[in-house]
Amino acid sequence: MTRLAGKSVIITGAGSGIGRAATLLFAKEGARLIAVDRTEAVKEVAAEVKKAGGTAEALTADAGSEKDVIAFIDRALKDYGRLDAIWANAGVSGGLVPLADQTVEHWQEVLRVNLIGPFLAIKHSIPHMTRQGSGSIICTASVAGLKAGASGHPYGASKAGVISLVQTTAYSLSGTGVRINAVCPGLIETGMTKPVFDRAKERGTSDKIGQLNPLKRPGQPHELAAMGLFLASDEASYVNGQAIPVDGGLTASMPYTGKPI
């Protein structure tokens, strides 16, 4: 299992959910990791990697702070000598607040983490990757950035912005050998979506979670990590500028009754 053997990789939001699953999987595939999160949980994830014989250093940082982004990219270069991939995965949900009750400050914080964070990761990794003539940038968007009805307004807008950022950046990187793509999770069981799962348990409707997609179930973090692994690896050498849904088929159709046609 060496699809990322020796590659230097940064993953943000690595303390839980998709980021944690990606950190563990990438390490198993031979990556040398800088695992970033603003919570102390990231240290436990790095310790788990090391216990399994992998390589990972934990950094507590804010993925929406330019100073912090520069620092964790510099750390990857200092520790591993290069930067082969970065997954800008950190994000916040923003909750479900009626539009009339939303504040400018609320929007600014969601956009700062979810959209400006990926922009900063792109901006400060590009110079190093272009000098190498190779690299993979991955951003976590969402099906909420593709279609309405999957989130609150600021979250959906931020993720639509991530998709546009990925598409426009792909052309800005023309001829450099650096690729950029977005993954668009559907309903994935993570800390961010815990309230959804908790409410379903309280109502006794856990079996209905994920019923709107053809697979009739929610996704798990490792299923998103697997897509990120592919995009970070040389196997995805011709995949560029894409926003790839990992959603059980949710965005494959217009709304339907769930009855076979």
Handedness of CA 16, 10, 25, 90 (dihedral sign): positive
Q: Identify whether 238 is a catalytic site residue.
A: no
Asked if 9 and 26 count as a contact pair (C-beta separation under 8 A), the reply is yes
Question: From CA 125, how far away is CA 135, in angstroms rounded?
Answer: 9
Decide if 45 contacts 15 (C-beta within 8 A).
yes
CA distances from 231 to 77, 80, 124, 198 (A): 21, 20, 19, 32
Calculate the CA dihedral of residues 188, 189, 194, 196 and round it to 10 degrees.
60
CA–CA separation, 240 and 56 (whole Å):
27
Distance of CA 222 to the CA centre of its chain: 12
Residue with tokens 């109502």: 203
Q: Whole-angstrom Cα distance, residue 218 to residue 224?
A: 12
Residue of 22, 32, 17 whose CA lies nearest to 93: 17
Q: What tokens does 223 get?
A: 């299923």
Contacts of 50 (CB under 8 A, 6+ apart): 56
Which one of the listed residues 155, 171, 238, 256 is annotated catalytic? 155
β-pairing, 55-60 with 32-37? parallel
Question: Encoding tokens for residue 194?
Answer: 């815990």
Active site residues: 155
